Amino acid sequence: MTGTLAGHPGLPRLLAGLDQSGRTMSQSEHERIHGALPHLSAHELIDAVQASGLRGRGGADFPTAVKLRALAARRRVSAVVVNGSETEPASAKDRLLLSRLPHLVLDGAMLAAEAVGAREVIVKLNERAASSLHAVAGALPLRQRDPVPVRLIAAPDGYVTGEETAVMHFLNGGAPIPTFVPPRPFERGYQGRPTLVQNAETLAQLALVARFGPRWFRELGTVADPGSALVTISGAVADPGVYELAFGTPMTDLLAAAGGATEPLRALLVGGYFGTWVDSASALGLRLAREDLRSVGCQLGSGVLIALGESACGLHESARVASYLAEQSAGQCGPCVHGLRAVADSLEALADGGAHPRERDRVLRWAGEIRGRGACHHPDGAVRFVESAIEVFGGEIEWHRHNHCTARPAGLPIPASASASASASASAFRSAASEAKR
Amino acid sequence: MSRRLRVNPIACEGHGLCAELLPELIRLDDWGYPIIEPTEVAPELLGLARRAVDACPTLALLIEEIPTRDG
Ligand SMILES: Cc1cc2nc3c(=O)[nH]c(=O)nc-3n(C[C@H](O)[C@H](O)[C@H](O)COP(=O)(O)O)c2cc1C
Ligand code: SF4
Ligand code: SF4
């Protein structure tokens, strides 16, 4: 399912004109709905983005205008990279944009490329996203008026392959694994030159800001969180899918947009596998807004929401996810490699009833010690997830020691070949899907 | 200018030499990898910190200079 909250004024924006057919929107249809790509000077575009308050939708929540300005001030920018990796297993929004609305994302990339003076646009996709690859490849030849050439690159799946330094390393011919910072991509990225990396949804939003302006953008959302967001809702809801919602929307309306809960809810996972479990009692009182989410220690991240029903076991589900995240370590940093494995094993032992409840204190100590000690933020996201699991489901540890847990698996998605680690050799992985150089 | 110790965790192999040389600012986690005090390096420890940096066999230990407002 895709859609929005029925009857919400001003929505959909990004998803305007999209039906349930699964068809890719043609360029003419796209221009009929949104109008042609406008021409703005670098200053005009960056000022509009700044006034809009747009922030990155890839998870780091960074103000987009700040990044654009930093790049525009540098010479010899090599590329704008559309980060379409979407390696978060429970997220589907970037795939939806790229497979159904490729022209909207490409418009945003072109505007950004002109604003920062980039020589090319590189669309970096996950090789598993077949329909996105197909749709973008089909869209490129139609874009005759684009100011810079576009290349489409497919890269292997793996949780950390979407991290921006991993993207740079891969584009530069290495394995899709993160590198030590500095340098960050805006300093030294693709071809060793400054590079703008932006999430696919961020660029789609930017394409609308450029057309309709910051005031229009702020007609939806809150002062601190203007605009709309794509949220992938799954778990115990009737119609899981990607929904476009205004910031400030109550959590209960988010669930209603996805057809409502299918059973009483135990908790919500906000922000995906780098996110935070929130007890359903507190979660249902929140709005989709940074200030509300922060009050319970969470962030929207890449816009993933998973509803956990009371029939599921939060401890077991969390142990599975923690184990997946440990497996997804790029294997480079001691605290990430050993720490995440240890934390995941302990969480599993606690869920299976085989560990003394004091093990929980050890997990929390490890989590605190691991935080901030990897080259990238993978371990930070993983320990935040684990800490929240213990906070929300910790009261069930004692019960699991003395009882056999018969909860049904809740089906939190874990990619099949999760153990095919991203650290395998780069050349085996490299697969440029298509090139459209003009 | 304030100075902080930092480890490049990709380069670090957990030899633990740094923690031996500078226990004031570095301890080891349960797997032998260094945990650095997040505070700035006090002037009287700077000499020892430089020695630990030089002793790291993989060049993983760094002193980062962070510009402060008053320089
Ligand atoms: C482990 C890890 C995985 C990430 N995966 C993705 C991803 O799949 N897609 C994405 O857009 N950003 C991902 N990011 C965030 C990127 O590093 C980067 O912040 C983002 O692409 C910048 O774009 P934005 O400012 O438009 O959000 C990931 C970050 C981390 C730490
Ligand atoms: S922190 Fe983990 S995922 Fe990130 S670079 Fe180091 S080993 Fe890889
Ligand atoms: S001496 Fe160097 S390699 Fe050894 S633990 Fe310290 S930083 Fe790591």
DSSP, residue by residue, B22-43: -TTTEEE-TTS-EEE-SSPPPG
Neighbours of B59 (CB within 10 A): 11
Structure tokens at A307: 């509803």
Phi then psi for B52, rounded to 5 degrees?
Answer: -65, -40
Confidence at residue A427, expressed as pLDDT on a 0 to 100 scale:
29
Neighbours of B20 (CB within 10 A): 12
Q: How confident is the model at residue A408 (pLDDT cuts 50, 70, 90)?
A: confident
Confidence at residue A22, expressed as pLDDT on a 0 to 100 scale:
87
- pLDDT for A306-330, tens place per residue? 999 999 999 999 999 999 999 999 9
B53: CA distance to ligand 3 center in Å? Answer: 9
Domain ranges across chain B: 2-66
More reliable by pLDDT, B2 or A229 = A229
Distances (CA, A) of A202 to A81, A112, A198, A303: 12, 11, 6, 12
Beta strands A195-199 and A228-235, pairing class: unpaired
Confidence at residue A406, expressed as pLDDT on a 0 to 100 scale:
85
- pLDDT for A375-404, tens place per residue? 999 999 999 999 999 999 999 999 999 988
Contact residues of ligand 1, CB 6 A cut-off:
A 56-60, 62, 83, 85-87, 159-160, 162-164, 197-199, 202, 376-378
Q: Percent of chain A, pLDDT > 90?
A: 87
Residue A428 pLDDT > 80, yes or no? no
Burial class (CB within 10 angstroms; exposed 0-12, middle 13-18, buried 19+) of B1: exposed
Virtual CA dihedral for B26, B27, B33, B37, nearest 10 degrees? -50
Confidence at residue A376, expressed as pLDDT on a 0 to 100 scale:
98
- Helix A102-116 to helix A130-139 angle (10° resolution) is 60
Q: How confident is the model at residue A430 (pLDDT cuts 50, 70, 90)?
A: very low
Beta strands A120-126 and A150-155, pairing class: parallel
Q: How confident is the model at residue A187 (pLDDT cuts 50, 70, 90)?
A: very high
A177 at B interface, C-beta within 8 A? no
Confidence at residue A410, expressed as pLDDT on a 0 to 100 scale:
85
Confidence at residue A417, expressed as pLDDT on a 0 to 100 scale:
64
Strand partners, A82: A123, A198
A25-219+425-433 and A314-402: identical CATH topology:
no
Q: Which of A154, A90, A93 is nearest to A124 (CA)?
A: A154
Widest distance between CA atoms in chain B:
39
DSSP assignment letter at A35? -
Residue A431 pLDDT > 50, yes or no? no
Q: Which of A353, A396, A412, A438 is nearest to A119 (CA)?
A: A438
B58 at A interface, C-beta within 8 A? no
What type of residue is A47?
A: D
Strand partners, A249: none
Asked if residues A438 and A142 have their Cβ atoms less than 8 Å apart, the reply is no
For the domain covering A25-219+425-433, report its CATH number. 3.40.50.11540
Residue B21: how many CA atoms within 13 Å on its side-chain side? Answer: 18
- pLDDT for A341-365, tens place per residue? 999 999 999 999 999 989 999 999 9
Q: Which of A380, A396, A415, A414 is nearest to A315 (CA)?
A: A396
B32 at A interface, C-beta within 8 A? yes
Asked if residues A377 and A273 have their Cβ atoms less than 8 Å apart, the reply is no
Average model confidence (pLDDT) across chain B? 93
More reliable by pLDDT, A5 or A196 = A196
For the domain covering A314-402, report its CATH number. 1.20.1440.230
**Closest-approach residue (CA) in chain B for A336:** B9
Chain A residues whose CB is inside 8 A of the B7 CB are 373
Ligand nearest to the CA of A159: 1
Chain A residues whose CB is inside 8 A of the B8 CB are 180, 375
Q: Percent of chain A, pLDDT > 70?
A: 94
Average model confidence (pLDDT) across chain A? 92
Q: Where do the H-state alpha helices sit in A16-86?
A: 27-34, 42-52, 64-72
A376: CA distance to ligand 2 center in Å? Answer: 5
Q: Where do the H-state alpha helices sit in A16-171?
A: 27-34, 42-52, 64-72, 93-100, 102-116, 130-139, 164-171
Structure tokens at A246: 């205004």
Give the DSSP H or E segment for A267: strand A265-270
Ligand nearest to the CA of A376: 2
Q: Which of A15, A17, A27, A23 is nearest to A140 (CA)?
A: A27
Q: Which residue has tokens 């090139």?
A: A435
Q: Which of A252, A308, A216, A206 is nearest to A5 (CA)?
A: A252
A232 vs A3: CA distance, rounded Å: 11
- pLDDT for A256-308, tens place per residue? 999 999 999 999 999 999 999 999 999 999 999 999 999 988 888 899 999 99
Average pLDDT for A42-66:
97
Chain A residues whose CB is inside 8 A of the B10 CB are 179-180, 332-333, 375
- Check CB contact under 8 Å for A369 and B35: yes
Phi then psi for B59, rounded to 5 degrees?
Answer: 55, 35
Average pLDDT for A126-134:
95
A47 vs A205: CA distance, rounded Å: 15
Structure tokens at A148: 């810079």
Residue A437 pLDDT > 60, yes or no? no
Domain ranges across chain A: 25-219+425-433, 230-309, 314-402
ipTM score for this prediction: 0.94
Q: Which of A210, A255, A209 is nearest to A231 (CA)?
A: A255
Beta strands A228-235 and B2-7, pairing class: unpaired
B35 at A interface, C-beta within 8 A? yes
- pLDDT for A81-110, tens place per residue? 999 999 999 999 999 999 999 999 999 999
pTM for the whole structure? 0.93
A170: CA distance to ligand 1 center in Å? Answer: 14
Phi then psi for A123, rounded to 5 degrees?
Answer: -95, 110
Residue A217 pLDDT > 60, yes or no? yes
Q: Hey, which residues 21-60 in chain A have their CB within 8 Å of chain B?
A: none
- Check CB contact under 8 Å for B29 and A339: yes
B44: CA distance to ligand 1 center in Å? Answer: 40
Residue A167 pLDDT > 50, yes or no? yes
The fold of the B2-66 domain, in CATH, is Alpha-Beta Plaits (3.30.70)
> What contacts 24+ positions apart, CB below 8 Å, involve A27-36?
A27/A103, A27/A139, A27/A142, A27/A143, A30/A101, A30/A103, A30/A104, A31/A103, A34/A104, A34/A107, A34/A207, A34/A208, A34/A211, A35/A211
Please give, rounded to a whole number of angstroms, the shortest distance from the CA of B7 to a CA of chain A. Answer: 8
Ligand 1, atom nearest to A376 Cα: 31
B33 at A interface, C-beta within 8 A? yes
The finding on whether A378 has its CB within 6 A of some atom of ligand 2 is yes
Asked if residues A353 and A333 have their Cβ atoms less than 8 Å apart, the reply is no
The finding on whether A333 has its CB within 6 A of some atom of ligand 2 is yes
- Check CB contact under 8 Å for B29 and A332: no
Question: Across the interface, which of A366, A369, A374 has its CB nearest the CB of B9?
Answer: A374
The fold of the A230-309 domain, in CATH, is Ubiquitin-like (UB roll) (3.10.20)
Chain B residues whose CB is inside 8 A of the A375 CB are 8-10
